[in-house]
Structure 1
Amino acid sequence: MGDVSTTFDVLIIGAGPSGASAAVHAARAGLQTLLIDASVFPRDKTCGDGLTPRAIHQLDLLGVGDQVTSSYSNKGLKLHGFGGSVEAPWPDTYVTNRGSAMARSAFDDLLFRLAQSYAEVTTWENASAENAVLDGNDLKAVVVNHGGVEKTVSAKFVIVADGVRSPFGKKLGRVWHRNEVYGIAARAYCETPLSDEPWIHSHVELRDEEGTVQPGYGWIFPLGNGSVNVGCGALSTDKRPAKINTKKLLSFYASQRRQAWQLGPEHDVASALLPMGGAVSNVAGKNWMLIGDAAACVNPLNGEGIDYGLETAAMAVETITANQKRDLTLVWPHVLRDAYGETFMLARTAARLLTYPQFLPLAGPLAFRGPLQKAIMPAAARLMGNLITEEDRDILAQAWGAAGSAISWARKGSPLWDSTL
């Protein structure tokens, strides 16, 4: 099987934001950690690049929040559509009201270098996890192709953070349930003199060239570096697939915004499919767990995944340190459901409504032009960003919590990080 490496306390597969931050938390816990990635940094990834206050809070805990927000910060979200616009500032009720955005090539490199700075962390780039050596649900070793050299790595615990496709997660039995809502998205970068605009913008009236309203939204996220991230995403299920060419839709959306934003041509266009809202099965075994995008920890209402990636990284290390001698097969799904279960189940249900062609054309004008516009839309933005706190007790927040409990009961058979199929 090739060279046998030293046994590590933790092997982390994937060095994006989830994996790199998990390595930092593991190092701080005194765990000897191997962090591997199939690419060489810096490298790009399809993403909207937005960083909500939830993400900034996690970056503060990692010690790099100020480094990120010093180059660019934003006040909140501006929602547009159906003849209206609404400003939704980040709420003061959350632990921080700072948001930001940073191109993923720079953001991922920042966190990867942070992980490298710890003596407890060994990093391998150009290293792909090829095979799992399993004894039932116990992951005994991982065969890694490191720069063309096959190595067998043993670790007490393995954290799988290899993204939305999760190729290694599939080898461990991960299943993505496409009967639940998932996202299809495309993004590009455009130069603009307006890259310091202090708001991120979302257009929820996303129309194609024929004028048909699509079940999703377009976005423009300023980056503060002379460019913006421009993108669009649509929601889909296997029964109601979004019948669009995302790159073509992106080009049309950018053309609609070009004059107002003084946009240059799109470049670095990329697209991706996004499993959302915990709609995957088999996310843990005796000594391994999936985190971040690999565990479908993506908000179905806005496509946000970085904040959940950073959070699940910290949660995974906490779970490992607290359960050194326990089987994690049921423990880790329980941790995820306890943290996000009701929120994700409600968000998946709300997102499912958007996949019905009749819903947005009827509901959109009421939300943006109706008498409740100023109350509903800022609250919707807050809820979409999952920024509700225990102190945030307004009527809509209470309604969100009550609806979450009811929907969780009504859809209790729906997959949500099931440990078995």
Structure 2
Amino acid sequence: MGFVSTTFDVLIIGAGPSGASAAVHAARTGLQTLLIDASSFPRDKTCGDGLTPRAIHQLELLGVADQVTGDYFNKGLKLHGFGGSVEAPWPETYFTNKGSAMSRMEFDDLLFRLAKSHEEVTTWENASAQDPILRGNFLEGVVINHAGQEKTVKAKHVIIADGVRSPFGKKLGRQWQRDEVYGIAARAYCETPLSDEPWIHSHVELRDEDGVVQPGYGWIFPLGNGTVNLGCGALSTDTRPAKINTKKLLSFYAGQRRKAWQLGPEHDVASALLPMGGAVSNVAGANWMLIGDSAACVNPLNGEGIDYGLETAAMAVDTLVENPKRDLTLVWPHRLRDAYGETFMLARTAARLLTYPQFLPMAGPLAFRGPLQKAIMPAAARLMGNLITEEDKDLLARGWQAAGSAISWARKGSPLWDSTSSLV
């Protein structure tokens, strides 16, 4: 079969933000780590490029936050729609109160180079994980095509961080529950003299060319480098699919914002499909686990996943270090549910409401122009920034936390990182 490597402590499949940061955390604990990616760096990735304070906090722990926020940072979110606007600064929490944005071409390369700088980390670019070598649900080895050469790698543990489609995760039994809410999105870059604008902007009244309100939102994330990331996303289910062409809607949305933002033409347009809110099953086996987008750790209300990717990377390494001989089949899904379960279940339920055509036209004006505006919308902005925490004292924030248990009970049959592995 070709070259058989020396056994590594950890093999990480996928060197995006989740995989690269997992490699850094693993290296810091002394684990000999192989980090592979199917592409070579720098490379692009379809994304909104926004970095919430929650993500910046993780970058502080990695030691690279200043490299991200040094040239540009934002101070909060402006929500627009239904005749109103709300300005919501990032809250003072145990996270930093700085946000930022950086193109994934730059951001992913930054974290990959950080991982590569550790002597405990070996990196292979243009290396695609082809086939698992399994004994039950124990992953004994992985066949990797590295720059055209087939290699077999053995590792004590394998962390899979190969993105939303997770091709290697699928070979281990990962299944996407498409009856749950998922996202469809498109993004582009536009030149503008307003790229230093210190707020990110979201338009939750997203209308198509026929004036129909869509179940999603448009965004403009200034990058501080003469461009903005501009995009739109819609929520969908198998029973209520979003009947839109995302790239066409993106072009229409850009046209609506062009004058105010002095936007140049859209370029580097890309689109993606996004499982969200933990709506995948079979995310772990005896010695392997899925993290970040691969495990659908994405906010169902806004498509944000970088902060969860960085967090689950640290959690995964912690889990391995705490008890390196532990069977992860039940442990890892339990840890994900403990960290995000109630929040994701509630968010998925709220997102499902948005897929009903009549909901947004009815609720939007009440939220943006009605008496609830000042009480509701700042908390909604925190929600959009993944900043609802136990420390939040706002009424809606506490309601968000408390409602999680009721929603979890009401939708207890809804899959959330189902721990039953099809490989057992």
Asked if TM exceeds 0.5, the reply is: yes
Aligned partner of 1:139 in structure 2 is 139
Aligned partner of 1:314 in structure 2 is 314
Q: Which secondary structure does the structure 2 equivalent of 1:251 belong to? A: helix
Moved over 4 A (4+): none
**1:52-71, aligned counterparts within 5 Å?**
52-71=52-71
**1:184-333, aligned counterparts within 5 Å?**
184-333=184-333
Query: What per-residue deviation string (whole Å, max 9, x for no partner) do you get for residues 168-207 of structure 1?
Result: 0000000000100000000000000000000000000000
Aligned partner of 1:83 in structure 2 is 83
Cα offset for 1:343? 0.4
Cα offset for 1:381? 1.1
Aligned partner of 1:336 in structure 2 is 336
CA distance in 2, matches of 1:200, 1:19: 27
Query: What per-residue deviation string (whole Å, max 9, x for no partner) do you get for residues 5-26 of structure 1?
Result: 1110000000000000000000
Aligned partner of 2:118 in structure 1 is 118
Cα offset for 1:384? 2.7
Cα offset for 1:401? 1.4
Amino acid of the structure 1 residue aligned with 2:35: L
Aligned partner of 2:129 in structure 1 is 129
Long gaps (5+) in structure 2: none
Cα offset for 1:386? 2.5
Q: Which secondary structure does the structure 2 equivalent of 1:253 belong to? A: helix
Aligned partner of 2:163 in structure 1 is 163
Aligned partner of 2:23 in structure 1 is 23
Cα offset for 1:387? 1.0
Query: What per-residue deviation string (whole Å, max 9, x for no partner) do you get for residues 282-324 of structure 1?
Result: 0000000000000000000111000000000000000011121
CA distance in 2, matches of 1:116, 1:188: 29
Cα offset for 1:389? 2.9
Q: Is the 8 A contact 2:278 2:295 kept in 1?
A: yes
Question: 19-28 or 389-398, which moves further after superposition?
Answer: 389-398
CA distance in 1, matches of 2:164, 2:312: 14
Query: What per-residue deviation string (whole Å, max 9, x for no partner) do you get for residues 4-49 of structure 1?
Result: 0111000000000000000000000100000000000000000000
Q: Which secondary structure does the structure 1 equivalent of 2:329 belong to? A: coil
Amino acid of the structure 2 residue aligned with 1:300: P
Q: Is the 8 A contact 1:186 1:272 kept in 2?
A: yes
CA distance in 1, matches of 2:268, 2:188: 5
CA distance in 1, matches of 2:327, 2:24: 23
Amino acid of the structure 2 residue aligned with 1:12: I
Q: Is the 8 A contact 1:185 1:233 kept in 2?
A: yes
CA distance in 2, matches of 1:93, 1:199: 18
CA distance in 2, matches of 1:388, 1:245: 32
1:74 pairs with 2:67: no
Query: What per-residue deviation string (whole Å, max 9, x for no partner) do you get for residues 346-378 of structure 1?
Result: 000000000000000000000001011121111
Amino acid of the structure 1 residue aligned with 2:391: E
Q: Is the 8 A contact 1:94 1:387 kept in 2?
A: no
Amino acid of the structure 2 residue aligned with 1:126: N
Q: Which secondary structure does the structure 2 equivalent of 1:329 belong to? A: helix
Aligned partner of 1:12 in structure 2 is 12
Aligned partner of 1:46 in structure 2 is 46
CA distance in 1, matches of 2:164, 2:339: 20
Q: Is the 8 A contact 1:94 1:388 kept in 2?
A: no
The TM-score normalised by the length of structure 1 is 0.99
Q: Is the 8 A contact 2:16 2:112 kept in 1?
A: yes
Q: Is the 8 A contact 1:34 1:121 kept in 2?
A: yes
Query: What per-residue deviation string (whole Å, max 9, x for no partner) do you get for residues 75-110 of structure 1?
Result: 110000000000011001242100000000000000
Q: Is the 8 A contact 1:94 1:389 kept in 2?
A: no
CA distance in 2, matches of 1:261, 1:386: 26
Amino acid of the structure 2 residue aligned with 1:313: A
Aligned partner of 1:393 in structure 2 is 393
Q: Which secondary structure does the structure 1 equivalent of 2:45 belong to? A: coil
CA distance in 1, matches of 2:272, 2:50: 16
Q: Which secondary structure does the structure 1 equivalent of 2:348 belong to? A: helix
CA distance in 1, matches of 2:93, 2:116: 34
CA distance in 2, matches of 1:109, 1:352: 35
The RMSD of aligned alpha carbons is: 0.7
Among all aligned residue pairs of Structure 1 and Structure 2, give the percentage whose two residues are the same amino acid: 87
Amino acid of the structure 2 residue aligned with 1:105: M
Amino acid of the structure 2 residue aligned with 1:265: P
